[in-house]
Structure 1
Amino acid sequence: IGGKDSMSGTFNDIDVPPTLVSFALAPGNTKQVVSPEFKEVGSLISFIEVPRDENQLPDFGTLKKIADTLHGANILAAHTLDHGGIATGLSKMAFGNGIGASIKTDIDLHQERFLSFLIESKEEISGGIVIGRTQIEPTIQVGSETLKLGELYDAWTSPLAEIYPETEDPSTSEADTFTSTFESKRSTTKTQNPKVIIPAFPGTNSEYDSAKAFREVGAQAEIQVFRNLTPQAVEESLSNLAESIRKSQILMLPGGFSAGDEPAGSGKFIATILRSPEVADAVMDLLKNRDGLILGICNGFQALIKTGLVPYGEIREPQLGDPTLTFNDIGRHIARYATTRISSTQSPWLADTQVGDLHNIPFSHGEGKFYANEEDLRSLAATGQIATQYTDLSGQPTMAPEFNPNGSIHAIEGISSPCGRVLGKMGHTERQGPDVGRNISGNLYQPLFSAGVKYFS
């Protein structure tokens, strides 16, 4: 069952019969999308079952009617059920926000319910059977039995907890709160529509989001594919990139997994490109002579720190003990939202923010833990180069793994160069929009890109 010999399903005397596997994708209207976690206390929980025929296939006519009904209803949350039935669905819906449920029904909660639904709503849903209500107590109550959400969650995650831990043991160190306020700066180069060059390296995956974010605030963003199929293609790509940097006011290094994070570390491929003489000269000309800006997010940040553009503001050979980004404490990739705090406005990229502003930002990386020795940390703090920090729910920088997802020292998420015009950060600020993170609370918009464009006005 697969496209290559090693995935054929045959092993010793075990054979998988020829199997037709079909995949289908149905795009939907984002305005009608709701997430599965319970949203409010006191709302109704309804069960909607899709009938199946003798072959266990769904009645698609009924399914279509149900879909039409749900699209016109005031639904807070919806969850599609599977082999775990209602019991599993209720648990997962409750885990998200820690909102409990009180259930009163004779329906079998543990029977598999493929293609059926659990709905949270403020009023009854046509075709639905009300089976309970949400409640503030973090429990699921079924008749006389009460189950704590915490115990249910531990039972759900414990089988693979040792293999895929959600968090590492919290660090015993503390996270300082850094505060540095600066007057906003403007470039000596004036243009209302600065040109942005966004190189797309093998493995880059955030170039489209980055270009969109810049275009929405008036910049002229160009994505340039770096071709490496042949030595000649590499040479041509190096020359083209250097030429494009010289014609642009902003260099954007987007996120992704350039060259599959090989060899033995993320960002090394991009760093190698930036160190090539032709590209390095163009980058330093942008910074030293043309008052330009550079932004590196995630994989781009990893490349900036490996070249020295942050925190030193120049491309240089790495030295033992330099600040770095290393593997997450958890030992694997993380993908989640986290809250970050503006700790300094030294960088023009942060001119539209104030120290203390909080933003909920999506993160996706395997090597995002910032580390530096105490001497370098003191220097970065003194010059206002510690740009952003991970915080807890009260806005305080923290080492707690549920808020500091990679274990960065002093909860540092982003740093800048001495001049501030080079900024590197792990959070994907570009991944935002009216239909992104609709079930995430807090401030999802971080005005980096608008500040970058205003810098040249």
Structure 2
Amino acid sequence: MRIGVVTFPGTLDDRDALRAVRLAGGEPVSLWHGDDDLQAVDAVVLPGGFSYGDYLRAGAISGFAPVMGKLVDAAKGGLPVLGICNGFQILCETHLLPGAMIKNAHRSFLCRDQPLRIENNRTAWTTEYAEGQVIRVPLKNQDGQYVADDRTLAQLEDEGRVVFRYVAGATHGPAGFEANPNGSRHDIAGITNEAGNVVGLMPHPEHAVEAGFGPDQPGEGTRTGTDGLGLFTSVLRSLVA
């Protein structure tokens, strides 16, 4: 299966995402922001970074890129799309996902290994996980606080569209490791659309796909670091289901 990864000016993690697709068993396809051709891919990843320098708002300018016109239409037609960090911000800016991302509550850049609980394993990107499973992937952002009005938050909760939630690290990291790293409403780390084909999350699963290079799992004695790979294997499985 062909999985496209879009590069915008200022994208940082496109090569990591392409590698994650390859390690999962897919065919990685590089897509350019200035093209309006999705090259017949079967799914798309919007990777992390600081597209257009985060000028205006994080992800705002990218929403007007030629490739996004095609992508928005394709996503509404069922194409699986994953937005990671800046990609999540772009999905919110294009209204493929509700809500918005603002500066972290502590007003500073954050970088750490982050425990997440899988709240919804029925999306195109999460079927390889168990509901309630806690995974650990890197988190790095400065505009990572997810906000939405009360009605939208209630709808997301009622419809089971919260996919990832920040959890405390008492048993998965140092004591006092606070659950919510950036002030996101309802401890939300990632959400999905109604159809379950579009998912956005702030943490970086593409940095946790290869043993020895991803985050430690405390108490296991050896480095595992592959908790993020399931997102990429999930979409490949969903495409052939």
What's the TM-score, normalizing by structure 2? Answer: 0.88
What amino acid does structure 2 have at the position aligned with 1:434? A
Residues 392 and 215 of structure 1: CA distance in aligned 2, closer, same or farther (over 3 Å): same
Q: 1:335 aligns with which of 102, 108, 111?
A: 111
Quick one: distance in 2 between partners of 1:288 and 1:202?
Answer: 25
Q: What corresponds to 1:9 in structure 2?
A: none
Q: What corresponds to 2:211 in structure 1?
A: 434
Q: What corresponds to 1:258 in structure 2?
A: 51
Question: Cα distance, 1:440 vs. partner?
Answer: 5.0
Q: What corresponds to 1:381 in structure 2?
A: 157
Question: Cα distance, 1:439 vs. partner?
Answer: 4.7
| Aligned pairs (5 A) from 1:149-160 | none
Q: 2:62 aligns with which of 270, 284, 296?
A: 270
Quick one: distance in 1 between partners of 2:95 and 2:215?
Answer: 37
What whole-Å deviation, never above 9, does each CA across 1:4-38 have from its counterpart, x for those lacking one?
xxxxxxxxxxxxxxxxxxxxxxxxxxxxxxxxxxx
Question: Cα distance, 1:225 vs. partner?
Answer: 4.0
Q: Is structure 2 residue 24 aligned with structure 1 residue 217?
A: yes
Q: What corresponds to 1:5 in structure 2?
A: none
Classify the secondary structure of the residue corresponding to 1:346.
coil
Question: Cα distance, 1:434 vs. partner?
Answer: 1.7
What amino acid does structure 1 have at the position aligned with 2:95? G
Quick one: distance in 1 between partners of 2:234 and 2:112?
Answer: 25
Q: Is structure 2 residue 20 aligned with structure 1 residue 204?
A: no
Cα RMSD for the two superposed structures: 2.1
Q: Is structure 2 residue 231 aligned with structure 1 residue 448?
A: yes
Q: 2:84 aligns with which of 293, 297, 313?
A: 297
Q: What corresponds to 2:100 in structure 1?
A: 324
Quick one: distance in 2 between partners of 1:212 and 1:353?
Answer: 20
What's the TM-score, normalizing by structure 1? Answer: 0.48
Residues 416 and 438 of structure 1: CA distance in aligned 2, closer, same or farther (over 3 Å): closer
What amino acid does structure 2 have at the position aligned with 1:201? F
Question: Cα distance, 1:360 vs. partner?
Answer: 1.0
What amino acid does structure 2 have at the position aligned with 1:283? L
Classify the secondary structure of the residue corresponding to 2:125.
helix
Classify the secondary structure of the residue corresponding to 1:455.
helix
Q: Is structure 2 residue 182 aligned with structure 1 residue 406?
A: yes
Quick one: distance in 1 between partners of 2:192 and 2:14?
Answer: 21
Q: 1:286 aligns with which of 52, 74, 96?
A: 74
- Specify the structure having the higher radius of gyration (Cα): 1
Residues 284 and 393 of structure 1: CA distance in aligned 2, closer, same or farther (over 3 Å): closer
Classify the secondary structure of the residue corresponding to 1:354.
coil
Classify the secondary structure of the residue corresponding to 1:348.
coil
Quick one: distance in 2 between partners of 1:305 and 1:386?
Answer: 14
| Aligned pairs (5 A) from 1:361-372 | 361-372=137-148
Quick one: distance in 2 between partners of 1:438 and 1:423?
Answer: 22
Q: What corresponds to 1:418 in structure 2?
A: 194
Residues 351 and 203 of structure 1: CA distance in aligned 2, closer, same or farther (over 3 Å): same
Higher relative contact order (CA 8 A, sep 6+): 2
Question: Cα distance, 1:430 vs. partner?
Answer: 0.3
Gaps of 5+ in 1: 1-193, 227-236, 312-322
Q: What corresponds to 1:247 in structure 2?
A: 40
Quick one: distance in 1 between partners of 2:146 and 2:68?
Answer: 26
Higher mean alpha-carbon deviation, 385-394 vs 250-259, is at 385-394
Question: Cα distance, 1:197 vs. partner?
Answer: 1.6
Contact 2:136–2:215 (Cα < 8 Å) also in 1: no
Contact 1:348–1:451 (Cα < 8 Å) also in 2: yes
Contact 1:401–1:407 (Cα < 8 Å) also in 2: no
What amino acid does structure 1 have at the position aligned with 2:137? I
For this pair of structures, how many residues does the alignment match? 230
Q: How much identity, in percent, do the aligned residues show?
A: 27
Quick one: distance in 1 between partners of 2:21 and 2:54?
Answer: 26
Q: Is structure 2 residue 116 aligned with structure 1 residue 347?
A: no
